[in-house]
Structure 1
């Protein structure tokens, strides 16, 4: 499931298994089709998250050249507890076809969210209990408010704030979004007191996950 191995080559005692590329996968995560899931490195998958790598595009007949990867996740991405991540689907000629889901770098997906988008850019913060329906395209540097339902095939432009049911653009992000005081980019982090800092550095949050 990573570029080296989904389950990792070195298991640590405790909640998470850590791969040789620094991915941390909860032992209580539900992951199917691991061979079809790619993690770029330094990514966290928390307990009760459900990744559906088994929902991949057919590779026989006309789809023989289709990519085998069902879910492709970049670096420094945090998939919170209870999330469901699955490739988007479309019905054609009475058959369900699945298409790859791509998630960029420095993406935070809040607890209880369901993602079936076509692609999510980098430096994206998805609030808890949000739903991204099939075919959604989220550009770079976007904040999706908690509880949002992003309708199928919506394209979310860069530097926008999205919220509502159905979701719509409700604001804009400043140019400093995703950049911490030290100049590093990210999606969210916590302070020493445990408070969330949106648009901050994800690396520290991932480092602290054990």
Structure 2
């Protein structure tokens, strides 16, 4: 039996699609953020939709002190082809993803059924394949591509192992149960 996690309803906003956002979180650029629903954003989450479009699937759980910020690249303008400018890229987070506390995410894509550990730094333009696990305290350097069904860890993070075939089933059930058991105090 999964543990019941009770929260103070006065400390969370809850939308009609089942998104639960701590009032202690900072969400910027809501017009560029699309969330499918049934997601939980805990205290002190920073979500930067003011920089670029952010697309989030269902059953995302973002723990305390996580920063979700679109990545950037450098480019040039037609008016001044020698002057570098920063161009922000969209951030896409798929369904059934869990991001543990104190992690910073600047990836361009996080695949379905992925788990990112505590204190991780996912650098600019990283792509994390589906059914992958990033271990606690890992750093993914810029432009890292984590293949589907992989476990990565370390500083810098490197391939450690393949995830079990059951990873998707376990991750889906874990996050559905976590969401169901995240209930307001009576």
The equivalent residue for 2:34 is 38
* 1:176 maps onto 2:166 in alignment: yes
Higher relative contact order by CA 8 Å / sep ≥ 6: 1 or 2? 2
Do 1:178 and 1:201's aligned partners in 2 also have CA atoms closer than 8 Å? no
Q: Deviations over 1:60-85 (max 9, x none)?
A: xxxxxxxxxx1111000101110000
Residue aligned with 1:203, SS: helix
Q: Distance in 2 between matches of 1:107 and 1:23?
A: 14
* 1:108 maps onto 2:98 in alignment: yes
Q: Distance in 1 between matches of 2:102 and 2:30?
A: 21
Per the TM alignment, residue 47 of structure 1 is displaced from its structure 2 partner at its CA by 0.7
Q: Distance in 2 between matches of 1:108 and 1:126?
A: 6
Match of 2:13 among 10, 17, 23: 17
Residue aligned with 2:31, SS: helix
Per the TM alignment, residue 178 of structure 1 is displaced from its structure 2 partner at its CA by 2.6
Match of 1:28 among 13, 24, 29: 24
Residue aligned with 1:14, SS: helix
The equivalent residue for 2:4 is none
Paired residues in the alignment total: 169
Give the alignment's Cα RMSD to 1 decimal: 1.3
Written as runs of structure 1 = structure 2, the 5 A alignment for 1:1-210 is 13-56=9-52, 70-93=53-76, 94-180=84-170, 186=172, 200-209=173-182, 210=184
Q: Distance in 1 between matches of 2:165 and 2:176?
A: 20
Do 1:82 and 1:111's aligned partners in 2 also have CA atoms closer than 8 Å? yes
Per the TM alignment, residue 144 of structure 1 is displaced from its structure 2 partner at its CA by 0.3
Unaligned runs of 5+ in 1: 1-11, 57-69, 187-199
Per the TM alignment, residue 175 of structure 1 is displaced from its structure 2 partner at its CA by 0.4
Q: Distance in 1 between matches of 2:9 and 2:151?
A: 39
TM-score by length of 1: 0.77
Per the TM alignment, residue 13 of structure 1 is displaced from its structure 2 partner at its CA by 3.9
Per the TM alignment, residue 54 of structure 1 is displaced from its structure 2 partner at its CA by 0.7
